[in-house]
Each structure stands twice: as structure tokens, then as C-alpha cells.
Structure 1
Amino acid sequence: MRISLAKLLLNNPSILLLDEPTNHLDIESLIWVENYLKAYQGAIVMVSHDRSFLDNITERTVEISLGNVTEYSGNYSFYKREREVRKELLENQFNNQQSYLKQQEKFIERFRYKATKSRQVQSRIKLLDKIDLVELEDEEATVNFNFPPATHSGKISLEISELTKSYDGTFNVLENIDLIIPRGEKIAFVGVNGAGKSTLMRIIAGIEKYEGEVKLGHLAEIKFYAQNQAEELDSAKTVLQTMEEAARGDIIKNLRSILGSFLFRGDDVFKKVGVLSGGEKSRLALAKMLIEPSNFLVFDEPTNHLDMKSKEVLMNALQKYEGTVVIVSHDREFIDGIVDKVIEVKNKKIRIYFGNATDYLKS
């Protein structure tokens, strides 16, 4: 991203159009891009799902919803607050208008056949015909996703001793790593791209070879969301069938709502996986993983293809989740809402910071 942006700026453009500029950036690169854009003198128009990034850069927010475009004179947090104010105002206008309409309709119904009131009745009928009705936005119900019950694991979810990982036996990306992850801990791994974060996630998930010892805790059950997780989906199945084959118990009746929170609405659930876009497949793979029982979740950049609402659903679910969570992510707001420990992967080693992403960046 740094190189692409640098090439772009060589032309000295008066306006930058950025489509999800934070995807695939590590936190260090994200901060660099953010600081650069803050100082940029030209205009910037961007699409992004990174709330912290938007809050720190933007001065105006444009919402596109139900075919309408609405402008807000502030950043994303301002937009969220102002949108709630406008929503409450619109609801009050709607309720007042409905009350008024009922009164008029009651009068019309009562005196419709009374000759002495016929002029008033006709007048009110014409008045009602001219009224512009206040319409409320169609909003989907809030999805409160709860993880299916999982086996209670031992006190230690994972123990790593003297872990070393090399490629071709010549270059060590990780060297003599020691780490204990207690049950119920929620940890974010951060570091520059290439530092070994994703490699470490694959080792924890049991799909990458290594030297040393990685011991999974008693009854610990790992589910892993990789950046290429979508490739494992069956292209011949529909979206709904993909979820149904993984669902168990009470969660089955909530599949449509869960899919809706991940942007699969209406007839979208009957689409074949093979015709979905890359982003749609990633969202489906994530939704499928979340409904499978597990007491240890490992994520590698889970928010890259999620919109704000889907990300909020995931964050709220992980906040309530009683199992162990390990995440690689560059999304500061997402990390802040979930983790209580940050582990930096740097120079083949790890360093532990207590707190969330904001605390880590201040240290």
C-alpha cells in the first residue's frame, strides 16, 4: 500500500479516490498511511470499513442507503451519533403524523353519511390525499449472535516451548518462542507484514510444520479462520446449504438472521457458492466457522471483507464468547473491543503488552 500510494502521489493529484485502503496493511503501515493522509493537501474520497481510520482522517461522511444519499458534516463517529438523532426525529414525526391521520380518519368514518358534515368530510379527505407521508427506513433487526455450546477445556489452552520456524532450512522467521495461553484469554498478534504472524497462527492451528513443542490444552478444540478460508467452501452448494451442514441445535432456526448480518439477504441465501465474489465467500466462510462448536478460536485478518454491521456482530459475539480467542488484525477498533493482551511479533521474537491496541500503540 505504501508503494502504491507513493506512486499515486508522484502525479501530484488534486483528489485521491481510495477503495478500502487499509485492507492487508499491518498496523505500522496503517499508521503511516493515516498520518500521510492527514497532512495531504488535496481532496480525499474513500470507501472504508475501518472506523478508527475514518475517524482520524475524514471531515464529511456520505451514507448511501435504500437508493438515497445523505451527507453528514463530520467523521464516522459524528455520523453515527447524528444518524441516531435524525432517526429519533423521524420516528417522532412518523408517530405524530400517524396519530393525526387516525384522528382525521375517525372523523371521516363517523360523519361520512351525515349531510350536515359532508363538506367537512370531503375537505378532510382531500387534505389526507395531499399529505406527504413520513416513511421510516427499513432496518433489519439487530442480530444477537450466540456461539453454540462447546466443551469446557482445561486451564491452559495452549503452551508453546522453544518454537522455531524456518523456510527451506535457511531463514528463521520465528526463533525460540515460549508462550502460554490460558483458557478464556483474548489476544491480538500484531507486527509488520512478513514478521511471522500468519505463520504463527497456522502453527497454533496445527497446519504448519515447526521445530519445538506446541501443546494443545486438555479438551481444547481449535477453529481457524485463515485469509484463504473461502477456498475450502464447496462451490456446488448454496449459501444456506453451506450453513446448514455446519449448524447444530437451536442455532439452526437463526441461520437466516445470521446470514443477514453477514450481508446474505433474501434470495442471496440460495446462490451457489461458485458464483459468489471473493468477499462474499470470505464472509460466508467466517459465518460458517462461527456456528461450529469450539472453545478456542484463531483468526487471521477476519475483518478484511466485512462491512461495519457485520464487523459489529462479530465483535459483540466475541465479547460474550467464553472461550479463548487469538486474532491477527490491523483493525484498532475491532481489537480494542475484544482483547486484553497484545503480542508483537518482531525480529523473530514475541513481546507481550497488557491491554488493547490503543494501549499498545501508546507504549
Structure 2
Amino acid sequence: MSPAEPRSALARRLRALREAAGMTQAELAQALGGENPLSVSLISSWENTDKAPPTRRLNAYATLFATRRSVSGDTVRVLPLDELSDEERRRYDELLEELLWLRDGREGAGYPETDVWRFPENEDVTIVSAQLPPDLRQHLTYADPESADFVSLYTYADPDALIELFGHIRAVNPNHHVSFHTTEELTPDHYTTHLVLLGGVDWNTVTRDVIERVDLPVKQVARDDDSPTSSPGGFLVKHDGGSELFPPLLDSEGHLLEDVAHFYRGVSPFNRKRTVTVCNGMYSRGTLGAVRALTDERFRDRNQAYLRSRFGEAEFFSIISRVPVVGGKGLTPDWTVAENRLHEWPEAE
């Protein structure tokens, strides 16, 4: 491991913390320096891997971002530690440990303990993808088990999302048993591991089973078909006064302009000591967008920082976001941009 690796991860994390809080570098420099403001160029160097902050500055970072009370009106300041509540002090301890870990480097450097995709030791992880329906496989030679050219991955409905996520989870959890299967390949024991489900209720029966068992106000309305004149479906959110549908956006010829991604994390209904995570989209680019929001190194730090600031230690949470499609490619959603977030649950108090 080279010394630059943990610092690079730390730089991304420091920038993500600041951006998630809506602070400028000048405001952060003022807050960290107090009566003797730091230079903006120093803040910039910490965010661009040139140098790592000393421990006392990381301590100030952890204190500042442990509580929303650091921002009062137009003033940003580091509160004294003894003014933090028990919950804020716990958050401070976790954040300081994470920042020191990123600076000093340990096994798996670059992936902090608070990474959404990090799981407790000795707990298996199972990624579940739907299998392509028979009518979509029948003309694919590589998807025919009787063919000498058979490749099992061609039978998976979301191979791009699967490859992206499997690699990331294995990197973050190098000592875990991480496996992936189609819904048809699951055994009863798989259901009691940490489950990560790719794709929606139309093809992934496990996603359907989970959504039916959890208290989530989001339901997926399957699209009729791929005709430009058909209903594209969407994610239906129930409110006290009714409901709201968030559909994908297609042009008059049926080309996808914007998909919709749904990310859900909660306690597994099959094993209360394990989690279930759903990465879903109305189309495959939405599913990939839900995955890359927390694996893409350009966005994962800021998106994970946003999740921590927005949902804290909530056992269940859900976020629906836009996935713009440009040149046929789905772009990674930035959850720190308000217009990209279509719905969040639990709703903000």
C-alpha cells in the first residue's frame, strides 16, 4: 500500500463532508481556525491529496460535522466537545476514528468502517439478480446451457450492476464470503445472509417478497412493455393525502432520457440480525445508477456522507433519485444535489 492511497481517500472524504453540509472552503477555513482563520489554499490542499491534516485538525473536523448545530444562521463554528449531546458525541467518536483510519491507512485502506457496503466480520453476503425471462434468452447462444459457448452470466438480468457491485463489496470486505446468484439458484440458507437485491419486482421475485414484507411507502409500478406509447410505470409513493408516481422519462421514439433509481436498506425480514439492500431501477440503467451512487469513487464519499447526515443510524431508509441518460449511458446520481432526490423516507422532521 503506498502512502498516497489513504490520503487520497481522506481527501475525498473531507471534501464530501464539506459539500454535504453546504459549506464553502472559506467558511470551513474560518470555522476550523476560529480567531486565526486558516487559508483557503490549505483547505484546498487537504481536499486534493497534497497533504493530510494533523490530528488536531481532524479532531476539529469530527467535532464540526458531528452536529448540525455547528451552523447557526450565517455562522459556522466548532462547538466545544462538552456541549455535544450523547448522540452527537457518539457521532464525533465514529467520525474521528474514520478520518484517522483514512489518514493512517489500515487493511482495505480507502474504504472506511462506515462504508455502506462494509459488513460485520464472519457474516456472509449474497447478491441476488433476476434471471432473464426464457423468451429473452432463447435467441442468445451464450445463454443456452446446451451450447458449447454457454456463459452463465448472460442469463443474468443486470450483469453490469452485478459486476460493479460484486467487485466493490469484495474489495471492502476482503475476508468475507460474498456470492451472487439468480433467484432460481437460492437456497434457504442464502435468505438468512445479508441480502443485496438487484432489479425490480417484475423479474426479481426476491425483491418482490422483501418489499411485501417491509413497511415501506414505495411500490414499483411495472411498465406495460417497451412500446413508446405504453405506460413507463415508475415508483409510486404513498402520502397521507394520496400518492405520487415518479416515472422514467422517454422520448417519442422510446429512447430513455432519464431513469429512476431506488435504493433501500433495512433489517432483513428473514433474519433480524442481517440486512437487506435493494438497488432497483425502472430500467437497467436505473439499477446501475442505484449501485454506482455508492461505488463510484467520484461520488460515493459525498453520497455516503449525505446518507449519514440525513438518516443517521436509522435501521430503515429509502431514497429515490434521477439517473440522467446521456449518449445511452446512465450517469451516477449525486444525492447531495436536491433536485436529484425525488423522494426520501423516513421523511425529514
TM-score (norm 1): 0.25
Greater Rg, structure 1 or structure 2? 1
Larger RCO of the pair (alpha carbons < 8 Å, separation 6+): 1
